[in-house]
Amino acid sequence: MPVSPSVVIGVDSSTQSAKAVAVDAATGRVLGLGRAPHTVTGTGGARESDPEEWWTALVTAVRAAVRDAGVDPGSVTGIAVAGQQHGLVALGADHRPLRPALLWNDTRSAPQAAALADRFGGHRSWLERTGSVPVASMTAAKWQWLREHEPHHAEATAAVRLPHDLLTERLSGEAVTDPGDASGTCWYAPADGAYDPALLDLLGLTPAQLPTVAPTGATRAGGLTAAAAEALGLPRTVAVAAGTGDNMAAAVGLGLGAAGLLDHPVVSLGTSGTVFAATRARPADPALAGFAATDGTRLPLGCTLNCTLAVDRFAALLGLDREDALPGGETVVLPYLDGERTPDLPAASGLLTGLRHTTDPRAILGAAYEGAAFTVLRALDGLLAACGLDPADPAVRTRPLRLIGGGARGRTWTDTVRRLSGRPLVVPAATELVALGAAALAAGASTGEDPVALATAWGTGAGETLPALARDEETWERIEGVLGTAAAGLLS
DSSP-derived 3-state class of residue 4: coil
User: What are the domain boundaries of the chain?
Assistant: 7-248
- Check residue 263 and give its pLDDT: 52
Where is pLDDT greater, at 344 or 79? 79
pLDDT at residue 213 greater than cutoff 70 = yes
Strands (E), 26-102: 30-37, 48-49, 76-83, 89-91, 101-102
Instruction: Tell me how far apart the alpha carbons of residues 283 and 388 are, in angstroms, rounded to a whole number.
Output: 8
Q: Burial, 53: exposed, middle or buried (Cβ in 10 Å; 0-12, 13-18, 19+)?
A: middle
- Check residue 4 and give its pLDDT: 63
pLDDT at residue 54 greater than cutoff 80 = yes
Binned at pLDDT 50, 70 and 90, residue 261 comes out as very low
pTM recorded for the entire structure: 0.87
Q: 439: Cβ–Cβ under 8 A, 6 or more apart, which residues?
A: 8, 9, 10, 21, 23, 28, 80
Instruction: Tell me how far apart the alpha carbons of residues 191 and 129 are, in angstroms, rounded to a whole number.
Output: 8
CA-based torsion, 204, 213, 284, 271: positive or negative: negative
pLDDT at residue 491 greater than cutoff 80 = no
The one catalytic residue among 12, 246, 295, 450: 246
- Check residue 1 and give its pLDDT: 38
Mean pLDDT of the 464-491 span: 89
Between 30-44, 286-300, 314-328, 345-359, the lowest mean confidence (pLDDT) is in: 286-300
Cα–Cα distances (Å) from 159 to 211, 234, 383, in that order, read 8, 28, 34
The answer to whether the peptide bond before residue 300 is cis (omega within 30 degrees of 0) is no
Around 118, how many Cα atoms within 13 Å sit in the side-chain half-sphere? 5
Scored b (16 or more CB within 10 A) or e, 31-43 reads bbbbbbebebeee
pLDDT at residue 482 greater than cutoff 80 = yes
- Check residue 265 and give its pLDDT: 87
User: How crowded is residue 350: how many other Cβ atoms within 10 Å of its Cβ?
Assistant: 18
pLDDT at residue 30 greater than cutoff 70 = yes
pLDDT at residue 2 greater than cutoff 70 = no
pLDDT at residue 37 greater than cutoff 90 = yes
Nearest-CA neighbor of 117 among 106, 105, 108, 130?
Answer: 130
Cα 434–Cα 82–Cα 108 angle in degrees, nearest 5: 105
First to last CA, the chain: 66
CATH 3.30.1390.10 for domain 7-248: no
Instruction: Tell me how far apart the alpha carbons of residues 143 and 128 are, in angstroms, rounded to a whole number.
Output: 21
Cα 253–Cα 452–Cα 422 angle in degrees, nearest 5: 50
Tell me the pLDDT tens digit for each residue of 276-322.
Answer: 988 877 777 888 888 988 887 888 889 898 999 999 999 999 999 99
Binned at pLDDT 50, 70 and 90, residue 492 comes out as very low
Q: What is the 3-state secondary structure (H, E, C) of 229-287?
A: HHHHCCCCCCEEECCEEHHHHHHHHCCCCCCCCCCCCEEEECCCEEEECCECCCCCCCC
Q: Is 393 annotated as catalytic?
A: no
CA dihedral 274, 280, 284, 285 (to 10 degrees): -20
